[in-house]
Amino acid sequence: MNALRTALRDAELSLARRDESLPCLAVVLDDGRLSEVMGEPVRITRVRYKPGTSALVAFRRTRDGKEEYGWALTTAGNVKLDGRAQKSARQGGGVLLIRPALRHTDAIIAVGGIEDDWALCKNLRWLEDRGLERLGAVERPGPGLLSGTAKVLRYKPERRLVLLEQSPDASIVVKTVALPAPENVDRFHQRLQQHGVPVLPMLGDADCFGHGTSASPAWGDQDLAASDDPEGARRAGESLARLHSIPAEADSGPAPGQEALVERQLAVTCAMVTALVPALEVPAANVAARIRRRLEEVTDGGTAVVVHGDFSADQVLVSGSEVRLIDFDRARAGAPESDLGSFAAVEEMSQWRGTSAGQQRTADLIDGYVLAGGRFTPAATDAWAALRLFAGSVDPFRDRTPDWAADMSRHIDRACELVP
């Protein structure tokens, strides 16, 4: 374990030395140093890094026996940090500006809690003032969105907050994001139901959607990632086949945006891999070229269908013999193999991390998919799995994996194997 900590520290110090635009990068990447400048112990759980521009981390800390989530941000030239902190103070927020004792720099680290989140705070205030009442949540015992029985299920700074709330009838899951929901979100949900895709009821109204808020009743015992029942995976496959039976809308065109999405994902991943581990620049470029070529070879020009866009075992809730598909934020028109490849890749990555229940779910998922009429090409599924593995190569860094540099190389190697 000490060797892993040393490897992690060496990799991050090397990264920080290369990015002179962010003098505080080494601080916000290290639990110990960030805890020291904040004056309290914190544990970093997620990093979003833009080379030469900013580093934003999510962390957890314990206060008064209760675990809290927070964030820390450092930017090149302290861009907008002072102004944002002043605006937060005017709105009753608690953003703290910390100036670490670093030589030859006046760099700042901004620290805040969930309700101080720059991107989310407007929608979170609306959720507290009006949204929870519209959704039927129980009344707060005091001020603050997180007072009472609210439980944070997931928080990604500047992206989303997912809460478990209580209503008089049942628990509800509330998700708030920075941007409004698409205008057709209601119609899309109805379309899923009409084609027999098992989804959760959608709570809320147009005002909720306009403030980036959606909700549904809490449902199920666990997600498929935690289940060891092969029947759940087969039912998930049946459900996915129903989703893929929905043709893309007539005005969407053939697989709209799919090629552009692939190109962007390959380019962004190559750039980030190079910034994090320069020695992987050439292997990353090579595998990106192979993925691009292979996807061109296996694309048959068939009719585009509705795809989930981010399909994996944790997007399937399980209750006994029933399943529900969730989180259609990235749904689009595309190739059915993109969902199958995504599922297979995420399962393999979960097994590497030891977060899988051990069940080989992909084979069972495909069994259910084919029995329900789903059709796919194995070579295309492998190519899409390679793309997901390659795009996921930066996740070990983002998720604070102790040996993230070696794990990134493993992702690239495995992606290369799938695109001969």
- Tens digit of pLDDT for each residue in 393-413? 999 999 999 889 999 999 999
Determine the average pLDDT of the residues in 127-135. Answer: 92
pLDDT for res 147:
78
Mean pLDDT, range 81-95, rounded to an integer: 82
Does residue 70 register a pLDDT over 90?
yes
Helix axes 378-391, 336-353, angle to 10 degrees: 50
Q: Model-level pTM? A: 0.93
Number of H helices, E strands in the chain: 16, 14
CB 236 within 8 A of CB 224: yes
Cα(261)–Cα(203) distance, integer angstroms: 30
Burial class, 335, CB count within 10 angstroms (exposed 0-12 / middle 13-18 / buried 19+):
buried
Digit-coded pLDDT (tens) for 141-187: 777 888 777 899 999 999 999 999 988 888 999 999 999 988 889 99
d(CA 71, CA 161): 13
Lowest mean pLDDT among 24-28, 136-140, 310-314, 323-327: 136-140
- Residues contacting 351, CB < 8 A, separation 6+: 358
Placement of tokens 């979003």 in the chain: 48
Domains 19-113 and 222-418 share a fold: no
Q: Look at residue 251 in the predicted model and tell me its pLDDT.
A: 39
DSSP codes of every residue in 122-190: HHHHHIIIIIHHHTTPPPPSSSSTT-TT-EEEEEETTTEEEEEEE-SSSEEEEEEESSPPPTTHHHHHH
- Of 347, 404, 344, 337, which Cα lies nearest the Cα of 375? 337
pLDDT band at 253 (very low <50, low <70, confident <90, very high): very low
pLDDT, tens digit, 9 for 90 and up, residues 255-304:
446 788 999 999 999 999 999 999 999 999 999 999 999 999 998 766 78
What pLDDT, on a 0 to 100 scale, did the predictor assign at position 65?
82
CA-CA distances (angstroms) from residue 187 to 249, 252, 327? 12, 15, 15
Q: How many CB atoms lie within 10 A of CB 8?
A: 19
Q: Domain boundaries in the chain?
A: 19-113, 121-217, 222-418
- pLDDT of 16 > 90? The answer is yes
CA distance 88 to 82: 10
- Confidence at residue 1, expressed as pLDDT on a 0 to 100 scale: 47
Distance of CA 228 to the CA centre of its chain: 24
More confident residue, 331 or 301: 331
CATH of domain 19-113: 3.30.200
User: How many CA atoms, within 13 angstroms, populate the side-chain half-sphere of residue 415?
Assistant: 33
Label residue 252 exposed, middle or buried (CB < 10 Å: 0-12, 13-18, 19+). middle
- Phi/psi region, residue 400 (left: phi>0; alpha: psi -120 to 50; beta: rest), is left
CATH architecture assigned to 222-418? Alpha-Beta Complex (3.90)
357 pLDDT band, cuts 50/70/90, is low
CA distance 311 to 374: 15
